Amino acid sequence: MIGRHSLELALPGASIGAAAGAMAGGLTLLAGQPTGMVALSALALAVPLGLFGGLYGVLLGHGVFRPGTFGPVGLFWMVAFPVSRLVQESLAGVGMADGVLPFLAYQAMVALGFAIGFVWLHERLMPHWLMRRAGANPEAKALLGQYIKHAQALQATRKGSRR
Q: Please write the tens of the pLDDT for every residue from 76-105.
A: 999 999 999 999 999 987 667 788 999 999
User: Residue 97: its pLDDT value, please?
Assistant: 78
> What are the C-alpha distances in Å from 131 to residues 17, 126, 128, 148, 150?
21, 9, 5, 11, 15
User: Residue 159: its pLDDT value, please?
Assistant: 83
In terms of C-beta density within 10 A (0-12 exposed, 13-18 middle, 19 or more buried), how is residue 68 classed? middle
User: Residue 126: its pLDDT value, please?
Assistant: 96
Cα–Cα distance measured from residue 60 to residue 67, given in angstroms and rounded to the nearest whole number: 8
What's the structural domain count of the chain? Answer: 1
| Residue 154: HSE in the Cβ half-sphere, 13 Å Cα cutoff | 9
Q: pTM value?
A: 0.91
User: Residue 102: its pLDDT value, please?
Assistant: 93
Structural domain boundaries enclosing 133: 4-161
User: Residue 163: its pLDDT value, please?
Assistant: 63
Low-confidence ranges of the chain (pLDDT < 50): none
Among residues 54, 57, 49, the alpha carbon closest in space to that of 22 is found at 49
User: Residue 68: its pLDDT value, please?
Assistant: 87
Structure letter (DSSP) for residue 64: S
User: Residue 25: its pLDDT value, please?
Assistant: 81
